[in-house]
Amino acid sequence: MNLALSLFPVQASNFAPDVDNLLYYLLAVSVFFTVLIFGAIFVFAIRYRRRSETELPRAGHTGLALEIVWSVIPFGLTMIMFGWGAKLFFSESRPPDNAMQIYVVGKQWMWKMQHMEGQREINELHVPVGRPVRLTMTSEDVIHSFYVPAFRTKEDVVPGRYSTTWWTPTKPGKYHLFCAEYCGTNHSRMIGWIYVMPPQDYQAWLNGGRAFGSLSDNGEKLFQDLACGNCHKADGSGRCPSLVGLFGREVQLADGRVIKADEGYIRESILQPNAKIVAGFQPVMPTFQGLVTEEGVLELVEYIKSLGHQPGTTPAEVNTSPQGTNQ
Ligand code: CUA
C-alpha cells in the first residue's frame, strides 16, 4: 500500500470518479465565491470608507442588469449542484437488476456478510471486479453505517429494517471498510476490508471457502424447523397465505392498501405479523421476534424468494420436502 498521505482514497468503484468530480465542482465554486466576496469586502472597505465626520453617502441605485446577472448566475450554479447531486443520489439508490446479492448484518462491533452461495465472512467481504454488487443490510442492535471510502458510498444500517446500497468495483485490491456511525465503545474498531478480486480468483475463493449451504437451502430448513408450512400451505389451503410466487408481487391488505412484497415486507411479516394482514386472512400468526436471528430472517427471505417466479413448479413440496434436500 501507498504510505504517502494521499488527499483522496483511490477511485475503486463506478461512483468514485463522478462523486469526486462533483466535489471538485463544489470546491471550485466555493473557493471562487469566497475569494470574490472577501476581495470585494476589502476593496470596498478601503475605497468607499468614510473620509470625514460630515460626509454623507450619495443616494445610489443598482442597475437592473447587474441585479439580474448576480441572481441568475448563482441560481444556475446551484441548480447544477442540485441536478448533479440528485442524479448521483438516484443512481446510487437503484441497484441494477443483474447485481450480485450480498447480505450484511451489523452488530456491536462487527460486520457479518453472507453470500448467496452460503459463504459467510466477518469484517471481510470478497467480491469480483467489474460486477455490480447489491448489499441488503440490517442491524442487530443500533444504527451502524457501511462506509467504503474507495467506493465513495456510505449507507446507514438500521435495526428493524433493510437498507440497500450498491456499487461496481472497478479495480482489484484491498479497501478499507468503516463503520461511520458512532455505535458505542468499540465503534472505532468496527472496521474491515473489501477484497476486490479478478473474476477467476473470486470463483476460486468461492469454491475454496467453507460451505454452509446456500441461503435459501438454510432458509428452507429453518422454515421446516419453525413449522411455518403448517399454516402457509403451498397450495393455498392453509390458514395463512401461500408463499409461492409471493416475492415481488402486489399484495392486497385487509385495510385496503396494496403493497409490494419486498424483503422489508417479508421481514416485517415474520417479526411483526400483525402489522400488515393480507385481505381474507385472520391475524393468527405468532411473532417470531426473538426466535429467529437477523441471519435466520435473511435465510427465510431468500427461501421465500426462491419459491417465486416459477408458476409451473409443484408448490406442494414447500411443506413436505425432507430436510436432506441440500446437497
Ligand atoms: Cu458500528 Cu459504529
> Looking up cell 390458514, which residue turns up?
239
* CA dist., res. 247 & res. 243, Å (int): 8
Q: Span 297-324, mean pLDDT?
A: 58
Does residue 154's CB lie within 6 angstroms of at least one atom of ligand 1?
no
Is residue 106 a contact partner of residue 179, using CB atoms and an 8 Å limit?
yes
Three-state secondary-structure class, residue 114 = strand
The string of pLDDT tens digits covering residues 123-159 is 999 999 999 999 999 999 999 999 999 999 999 999 9
Q: Ligand 1 within 6 A of 187 CB? A: yes
For residue 226, name the pLDDT band (cuts at 50, 70, 90). Answer: confident
Binding site membership of 107 for ligand 1 (Cβ less than 6 Å): no
Distance 143 CA to ligand 1 centre (A): 7
Q: Would the pLDDT of 239 be above 90?
A: no
90 Cα: distance to centroid of ligand 1 (angstroms): 25
β-pair type (124-128, 153-157): unpaired
| Ligand 1 contacts CB of residue 181 (under 6 A) | yes
Nearest CA to ligand 1 atom 1: 144
Q: Pick the residue with more confidence: 214 or 115?
A: 115
Could you tell me the distance, in angstroms and rounded to a whole number, from the CA of residue 166 to the centre of ligand 1?
19
Q: Is 105 in the pocket of ligand 1 (CB under 6 A)?
A: no
pLDDT tier at 312, thresholds 50, 70, 90:
very low
Q: How confident is the model at residue 294 (pLDDT cuts 50, 70, 90)?
A: confident
Average pLDDT over every residue of 183-196: 93
Distance in angstroms (rounded) separating the CA atoms of residues 105 and 289: 16
Q: Apex CA 239: angle with CA 233 and CA 244, to 5°? A: 35
- Would you state the pLDDT for residue 174? 93
Residues in the chain: 327
Predicted pLDDT at 5? 67
Banded pLDDT at 229 (limits 50, 70, 90)? confident
pLDDT in tens, 12-27: 999 999 999 999 999 9
Ligand 1 pocket residue status of 182, Cβ below 6 Å? yes
Q: What is the DSSP letter of 253?
A: B
Contact between 265 and 259 under an 8 Å Cβ cutoff? The reply is yes
Q: How far is the CA of 198 from the centre of ligand 1 (A)?
A: 30
**What are the angstrom distances between the C-alpha of 50 and each of 38, 40, 55, 60?**
19, 17, 7, 16
Atom of ligand 1 nearest to the CA of 181: 2
- The answer to whether residue 295 scores a pLDDT higher than 50 is yes
Please say if the pLDDT value at position 1 is more than 60.
no
Handedness of CA 167, 171, 173, 178 (dihedral sign): negative
* pLDDT greater than 90 at residue 207: no
- Percentage of the chain beyond pLDDT 90 is 45
Distance, CA of 196 to CA of 12 (rounded, Å) = 9
Distance in Å, CA 108 to ligand 1 centroid: 7
Structure confidence at residue 14 (pLDDT): 92
Cα–ligand 1 centroid distance for 295 (angstroms): 18
pTM over 0.75: no
Q: Is 259:253 a contact under the CB 8 Å cutoff? A: yes
Looking at residue 314, what is its pLDDT? 38
φ, ψ (nearest 5 deg) of residue 220 = -65, -40
pLDDT over threshold 80, residue 308: no
Determine the distance separating the centroid of ligand 1 and the alpha carbon of 187, expressed in angstroms.
4
